Amino acid sequence: MERQNILNFMTNNKELLLVHTSMYNVRLEHPINIMLTPQFYTVKKEAIPVKYAYQAKKIAPSLFDGLLEEDGKYDYIVFKEKVEDEESWVFIAYNIEKIIRFLESKGIDTNKVSKVFFIQQAITQFGKASLSLGDTEVLSVIDNTVVVIPRIVFGEDNIPSLRFTNEFTPKDSGISIKSSTASQSTLMTQTQAFTLITIFMLFAGMFIVEGSRYSSDTEEEKVEIESIYQTYPYLQSTYTRQDAIDTYKNIDRDERRKRDVIKTVSSMIFKGVTLTSLKIDEKKIISEFLCSDTMVSTRIKELVKKLENKLLTAKGDTKIIVEGTL
C-alpha cells in the first residue's frame, strides 16, 4: 500500500499531457506522462465474475473479437470501475505502435514519456462537464464512458468548462511505452524472453562459479615439490634441474648398458668356451673367446644374432671375437 502511494506520488509529480489527433506539435524538455483520448483506444465494459484484473485480462482479446482492425497488434489494460454501487470491468484495447507513430509525428520523444494513461481512467474528473479538444471536438461522458463528440452537437451555449490539469492523472497505474514496445516484439513475448534470459543467466552463473572454483587437485604434489626444494634448493632453477636430469640420465643409461653387455658376454661362457680377453671402455667392448670346436663357435654366433640390442657382432672360427660400440 505504501509502495503504491509512493508510485502515485512519483507519477503525479510529472506533467500530464493530453494527446488527441488535433493537438499541436510538442517538444519535450523533461519526462512527462501522457493521457490518451478515445481516438487511440477502444473501450468495452463487462460485468464478468472474475476477482482479479489478470484473470479479466486473459479474456480481453475474445471480448474485442471483430471490433479491432485485424492487421493491428493490440494490447489490453483492464481495471475495475464502480458506478452507482455496480462494479464492472473496463477493458481497453490499444495499438501501441500506432500510438508511438502518432506521438513521433507530433515531435514527442517517446523516451521522455514515462507513463501512458487513458482518459477513461480519469472519468471521475468529468462529472457532468466536458473538455474541449481543439475547435471541433469535445470530450464528454456518455453512459459512463468518455467519448469524443463533435462540438457542434453541444450547441453554442454549452461551452466545455473543464480544464485539463495534472489532477487528471489517475490513481491506477498506466502503461509504460518501453514495456509495451518490448511486448510488441515479433519473435517472442516478454515472458518467453524473461524465461530464456533467466535460463541463460543461470547457466552462465553456473559456468562462472564452476570455472572460478575449479582449483588444482595437485595440492599434495605441490607440497611435496616444496619439501624437495627445501632439501635440494639448487633444483629450483629450471636449467640446473634439466642439467642434473640430463647428466644423471646419461650416466644411468650408459652404465646400465655397459653392465648389460658384460652380463651378455659372460652368459656366452659355457662348456667348451674360454674367455681369453674382455675389454670395455666408455665407447666400445671387445671380447675374445676360444672355442673347443666350430659347433661351439656357431652356437656363440647364434647367441649373438639373437641378442635384442644388436650391439654386438661375432666373427672368427674357433677363436671368436665379439665386439660392439656402446
- Kindly list the residues in this chain that would bind another protein in the complex (CB under 8 A): 178, 181-190, 192-193, 196-197, 200-201, 203-208, 210-212, 214-218, 221-222, 224-225, 228, 232, 235, 241, 244-245, 248-249, 251-252, 254-255, 258-259, 262-263, 266, 274-282
230-265 in b/e burial notation, b at 16+ Cβ within 10 A?
Answer: eeeeeeeeeeeeeeeeeeeeeeeeeeeeeeebeebb
Comparison of 110 and 132: residue with beta carbon closer to another protein? 110
Neighbouring-strand partners of residue 108: none
Comparison of 167 and 221: residue with beta carbon closer to another protein? 221
CB of 309 to another protein, least distance (A): 17
CB of 287 to another protein, least distance (A): 8
Comparison of 5 and 218: residue with beta carbon closer to another protein? 218
CB of 126 to another protein, least distance (A): 34
CB of 188 to another protein, least distance (A): 5
CB of 41 to another protein, least distance (A): 20
First-residue to last-residue Cα distance in the chain: 96
Comparison of 143 and 226: residue with beta carbon closer to another protein? 226
CB of 297 to another protein, least distance (A): 17
CB of 294 to another protein, least distance (A): 21
Q: Is 32 exposed, middle or buried (0-12, 13-18, 19+ CB in 10 A)?
A: middle
Angle (nearest 5°) at CA 41 between 36 and 42: 140
268-291 in b/e burial notation, b at 16+ Cβ within 10 A?
Answer: beeebbeeeebebeeeebebbbbb
Comparison of 44 and 258: residue with beta carbon closer to another protein? 258
Q: CA of 186: how far to CAs of 37, 159, 181, 200, 280, in Å?
A: 27, 46, 10, 20, 89
Closest among 72, 44, 76 to 57, alpha carbons compared: 76
Comparison of 172 and 260: residue with beta carbon closer to another protein? 260
Comparison of 53 and 321: residue with beta carbon closer to another protein? 321
- Alpha carbons 30 and 89: distance in angstroms, whole number: 34
- Alpha carbons 120 and 144: distance in angstroms, whole number: 9
In terms of residues, how long is the chain?
A: 326
